[in-house]
Structure 1
Amino acid sequence: MSRRGLLALFLLLGACQRTSSEPAAVAAVPDAGPAVAPAAATAPAPAVEDSAPAAPHGPGAHSDAMAALPVCSSGGKAPLDAARLYYDEQRYLEALSCAARAAALEPDNAEAHAERGMALSALGKVPEAQMAFARSLAIDPDSPDGLLGAAHLYVVELPSSHERDELGLLYSERGLAKPGMLPDMVVQFALISAMAFNDLGQAEEALARAAIVLSHEPNNHEAMYERALALFELCRFAEAKAAFSSLLGNPQHGAHAHQHLGLLLEREGRWKQAQAHFDKARELSPEDFPPPPMPSEAEFREAVANAVAALPEAMRKDLEGVPVSAEELPADDDLLSGEPPLSPTILGLFRGPPLSEPCDGTETPCRSVVLYRRNLARAASTPAKLLEQIEMTLHHEVGHLRGEDDEELAARGLE
């Protein structure tokens, strides 16, 4: 198998699972008042001893302090070619040793540094991998392996964050736009872009990138999952239901497929069927889907009222005449009120113009805030965390009432 083919396998099998599972609630959408989401060491030098102890192979099979590398045993091949062969065989320590030698012999070889980065990444040496990819791309900003390795590191391997997803997306989109890219590389760049766009709440773009992958590989389960997730976020519920149903037997995505089918059936009021899917998702992946601290409707209304009463005086004054209500789930009309639609997992919503703008007279009251019981409960791990999330979501929606957009709210820690 070619090294790019193996990297594709590395991407499309277990290593393609994001380090953290998708949040129960999606990040806020600009201008619509949705809720808040729930949700360096130096690189090792080539060794000088043949007798350096061998380390286990494979991601995670390493110690925090890497021993000196063994001498590159290239078998008569160029060190970079040997590194690629070792990587194909998942012998990552030997791959690193030969890539390090190749980089030492040719310090300006972008591919040698990219190969070092991929071996370091596979060994879990993230800071060193970041430096190796940075050097590769400083030498050649269009290095295919440098772009692919960096994109995979930031979007797939590291825990998801807005900045990491944005950075990884820049790398993957640059690779995807590069003319003459081999089809298997196009597939890998498009898949990483689909993941990053979904994580960033840009479902239309995620759907388009998933379509690129599926045009090349119709049975690519990773792309099928990203497509299903994008359809759900775009409120194309019938299509999302069919897409998630096709993934129920998939060992990597079955739990998330059950969870999303539960969310879809819940929206239809089919509570018993929805709960069966939630229970199955928890059975398959208890860490991703722990039991939510679901209060009764009366308890939730009381918690919301208490949160309003605890607001600073200036905030309470701004809320005068603005009802704050508790609902089970976002209504379709609210989700589809703008373009793109709001996520079905928003935690709260501010309706109407900000205080600085006049009401148009078509709505009574013209401004309101709503918090969603089921989405909020799934965004919290304990009853105490739920109360914190209610408070934070309320602050977020009052921010929209005052005219702040999502960028301003994120800067204040209310993303």
Structure 2
Amino acid sequence: MEFDYSPKVKEMQAKLLAFMDEHIYPNENTYHQEVAANRAKGNAWIPTKIIEELKPKARAAGLWNLFLPKSSRAPEGLSNLEYAPLCEIMGRVPWAAEVFNCSAPDTGNMETIERYGSEANKDQWLEPLLKGEIRSAFLMTEPAVASSDATNIECSMRREGDEYVINGRKWWSSGAGDPRCAVYIVMGKTDPEAPRHSQQSMILVPANSKGITVIRPLGVFGYDDAPHGHMEVELKDVRVPVGNLLKGEGQGFAIAQGRLGPGRIHHCMRSIGAAEYALELMCKRLNDRVAFGRRISEQGVWRERVAESRCMIEQARLLTLKAAYMMDTVGNKVAQAEIAMIKIVAPNMATRVIDWAIQAHGGAGVSGDFPLAYSYANQRTLRLADGPDEVHRNALAKLELAKYMAGAKPVEMPITRGS
């Protein structure tokens, strides 16, 4: 078993760490101050200057579009295993990934268009996304149904001649609040009478299409994530060309499974980075503060929490690397158990570590003076985003139980780098 990163990845890690030290950490407060200033002027939904200024520097440093493997349009793309430690570093600061054109939901949307879109779709939407000229949103979840079961989706996509007519209401449409958001990937039903998992389709919808209304931003523990945002969106008699359909009618569920695999593991990579940063802040705080005559770091309960945090982070990292390796070598479908496991483990681990870090900071931990409260809100949301914990646990249990069903063939698990 080889646990070391390749020389290529080590070189990129060093380059990315240096970029974070020079450009990201010194501007953590700058970003939030800029959003606050825009909000005070009456419009928080304006792209920040600091991110736009840093993007050309990241691109010049060769730290651009690292997430997309095996694409002729993004030759700089890495494998999942190579990308994991770099995505983790980006995840230490919630807004950092956008600087490198590696932020959700654009990453998942670009991979979806690359895999399932026509060449015309790629020319129109993928190219400007890869250049960072526009942004995108993914419209799947709906307020009227339990969207943890994607077959519940009610948004209708009815074909009329050379167009599809779309009607429905979506929410938690991340990125739809950004004025640069130019295209949505929308999941809806093209045939309600088809078999359960063949009713859904996905289609590219220009964000400026007639009949689209962005109703409101949805807050997470009071954070609206401007200028990105998680929006509620209504689509009323929205017409788009048939050529915008991805892969074909009835393929929406299959596309969703393909799209959410990489998306889930990218979230988990960033979760590990967020936890690592929280542990760093916790240790510095514990070493700096004195209570009852000695450093807080000398008190037993905090040493226990620091040690437990390190164990949990390392366990999650190894499981993430194993899942990434399997995705690269045997494919997302074979790696579905590992993807489910890490989607359960990583956000739960991160929320625990960040919660302890908040506790170590006292009142400062829940204030805006430190990034911990905002980081906690992000990680707690990930226990719902891309499938709630309960759904992933259920899927994982079914895979495990199937191994021992009477008459079932043994499930052979491949020997992997993380095994």
The TM-score with structure 2 as length reference comes to 0.24
Which structure is larger by alpha-carbon Rg, 1 or 2?
A: 1
Between 1 and 2, higher relative CO (CA 8 Å, sep ≥ 6) is seen in 1
The TM-score with structure 1 as length reference comes to 0.25
More strand by share: 2
